[in-house]
Chains A and B, each alone.
Chain A
Amino acid sequence: MHQFDCRYIIQIGDVGAHTQTSLFNDAEDAKSSSAVFDFFFG
Chain B
Amino acid sequence: MTIEEIGIAVEQFAEAARRVRETGADGVEITASKGYMIQQFLNPGINRRRDQYGGSVDNRFRFLEEVVVATRKKIGPDYPLGIRLSAADYNYLPLNLRLPIRFPLRHWYFGNTIEENLYYAKKLKALGVDYLHIDKGYGFINPKGNPGSFPVHEAKMFYNANRHLSFKAWARSVLANSVPEFILHPLINIGWKDTPAISADDARRFRDEVGLPVIANGGDRP
Contact = CB atoms under 8 A, between A and B. Distances in A.
Q: How many A residues touch the partner, as a band?
A: 20 to 34
Contact of B36 (A9, A13, A30): A13
B27 interface: yes
Contact of A37 (B1, B38, B99): B99
Nearest to B35: A41
Contact of A34 (B13, B28, B46): B46
A12 B20 CA distance: 9
A32 B40 contact: yes
Q: How many B residues touch the partner, as a band?
A: 35 or more
B179 to A, nearest CB: 13
Contacts of A2: 24
B178 interface: no
Contact of B48 (A9, A23, A34, A40): A34
Interface in B22-38: 23-32, 34-38
A15 B31 CA distance: 10
Contact of A41 (B16, B24, B138, B171): B138
Given A8-B25, A9-B82, A14-B36, 14 more contacts: A9-B80, A10-B29, A11-B84, A13-B84, A14-B34, A21-B162, A31-B9, A36-B46, A36-B98, A37-B99, A40-B94, A40-B95, A41-B140, A42-B98
25 contacts: A8-B26, A9-B28, A9-B29, A10-B20, A12-B17, A12-B31, A13-B16, A14-B36, A20-B162, A20-B165, A24-B165, A31-B5, A31-B37, A33-B1, A33-B40, A34-B48, A36-B45, A36-B46, A36-B48, A36-B100, A37-B100, A38-B46, A38-B98, A40-B172, A41-B142
Interface of A: 2, 7-15, 20-25, 29-34, 36-42
